[in-house]
């Protein structure tokens, strides 16, 4: 199914369609439950951000959501992204070199995996990951080590540095699942921010095969209730989760 998106246009979509058959990505994190009923709405959709605060997505023009935020705060968010991504790539360089060698020794194929995703303002971009599956679509031995610790996501810091992504934001969906998202009112509001390596939905346990409507509720809560403090909370919870998963992986 051909999809033309704002900012990318039919030509950009066509360039990516030829790559949609490559299924070496982390499928479990991105699959959509097709049986989920169309129930999400931008009207009256409330999600609790913490024990005291509930953010409700109102029926307002999408652009007005971001317009409510301080330009200085948004510039600070971008500056933090650039700083974290640049520092992260420098510090992770030795790890990436070791992982690249292990990936090549473990199975045939490229070290990096690229896949089209939907980004800010619905423009397509190429996400970059370390390859975790072999040519037969099975998770490799190195992949089983990298996934729980999130090591395969490290190259996405390059996407952050380029401006395709943010460290924190709604996860970018697969381009070929885009038609399913379009059935949900309010879905465009989640693309007002750059997609993130981690997000509010993910730290609330919405990973893997999650109904679209459920994930959308948390993504819209993030875009309508965003703050630098919320980004900090998400980052700290993500680091805690990664640390716990790393300890479990090393013990097993």
pLDDT > 50? residue 88: yes
- Segment 113-120 shows an average pLDDT of 90
Task: Tell me how far apart the alpha carbons of residues 147 and 233 are, in angstroms, rounded to a whole number.
Answer: 22
Task: Tell me how far apart the alpha carbons of residues 150 and 197 are, in angstroms, rounded to a whole number.
Answer: 10
Task: Tell me how far apart the alpha carbons of residues 113 and 127 are, in angstroms, rounded to a whole number.
Answer: 8
- Cβ atoms of residues 139 and 107 within 8 Å: no
Q: What is the pLDDT of residue 5?
A: 36
Task: Tell me how far apart the alpha carbons of residues 165 and 174 are, in angstroms, rounded to a whole number.
Answer: 14
pLDDT by residue (tens digit) across 151-176? 899 999 999 999 999 999 999 888 87
* Structure token pair of residue 169: 């934001």
Q: What is the pLDDT of residue 165?
A: 96
pLDDT > 90? residue 96: yes
- Segment 165-188 shows an average pLDDT of 81
pLDDT > 70? residue 12: no
- Segment 210-224 shows an average pLDDT of 82
pLDDT > 80? residue 142: yes
> Which pLDDT band, with edges at 50, 70 and 90, does 48 fall under?
low
Percent of the chain with pLDDT over 90: 32
- Segment 11-24 shows an average pLDDT of 39
End-to-end CA distance of the chain: 43
3-state helix/strand/coil string of the chain: CCCCCCCCHHHHHHHHHCCCCCCCCCHHHHCECCCCCCCCCCCCEEEECCCCCEEEECCCCHHHHHHCCCHHHHHHHHHHHHHHHHHHHHHHHHHHHHHHHHHHHHCCCCCEEEEEEECHHHCEEEEEEECCECCCCCECHHHHHHHHHCHHHCCHHHHHHHCCCEEECCCCCEHHHHHHHCCCCCHHHHHCCCCEEECHHHHCCCCCCECHHHHHHHHHHHHHCCCHHHHHHHHHHHHHHHHHHHHHHHHC
What integer best gives the mean pLDDT of the chain? 75
78, 128, 152 from 75: Cα distances, Å? 5, 24, 28
Beta bridge partners of 195: none
Q: Write down how long the chain is.
A: 252
- Segment 46-69 shows an average pLDDT of 55
Q: What is the pLDDT of residue 64?
A: 67
Burial bucket for residue 74 (CB in 10 Å: 0-12, 13-18, 19+) = middle
- Cβ atoms of residues 154 and 123 within 8 Å: no
* Structure token pair of residue 94: 């030795």
- Segment 94-119 shows an average pLDDT of 92
Q: What is the pLDDT of residue 122?
A: 84
Which of the two residues, 39 and 155, has the higher pLDDT score?
155
* Structure token pair of residue 154: 């490290």
* Structure token pair of residue 98: 């070791």
User: Positive or negative, the Cα torsion across 223, 225, 227, 230?
Assistant: negative
């Amino acid at each position: 199914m051909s999809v033309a998106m704002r900012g990318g246009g039919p030509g950009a979509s066509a360039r990516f369609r030829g790559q949609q058959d490559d299924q070496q990505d982390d499928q479990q994190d991105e699959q959509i439950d097709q049986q989920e009923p169309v129930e999400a709405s931008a009207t009256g959709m409330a999600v609790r951000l913490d024990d005291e605060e509930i953010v409700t997505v109102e029926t307002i023009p999408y652009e007005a959501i971001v317009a409510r935020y301080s330009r200085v705060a948004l510039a600070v968010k971008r500056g933090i992204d650039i700083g974290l991504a640049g520092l992260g790539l420098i510090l992770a360089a030795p790890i990436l070199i070791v992982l690249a060698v292990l990936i090549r020794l473990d199975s045939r194929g490229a070290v990096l995996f690229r896949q089209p995703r939907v980004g800010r303002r619905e423009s397509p971009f190429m996400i970059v990951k370390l390859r975790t599956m072999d040519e037969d679509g099975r998770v490799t031995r190195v992949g089983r080590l990298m996934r729980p610790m999130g090591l395969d996501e490290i190259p996405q810091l390059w996407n952050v540095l380029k401006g395709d992504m943010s460290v924190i934001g709604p996860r970018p969906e697969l381009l070929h699942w885009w038609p399913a998202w379009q059935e949900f009112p309010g879905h465009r509001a989640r693309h007002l921010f750059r997609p993130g390596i981690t997000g509010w939905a993910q730290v609330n346990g919405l990973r893997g095969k999650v109904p679209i409507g459920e994930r959308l509720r948390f993504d819209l809560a993030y875009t309508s209730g965003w703050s630098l403090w919320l980004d900090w909370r998400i980052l700290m919870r993500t680091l805690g989760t990664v640390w716990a998963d790393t300890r479990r992986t090393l013990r097993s």
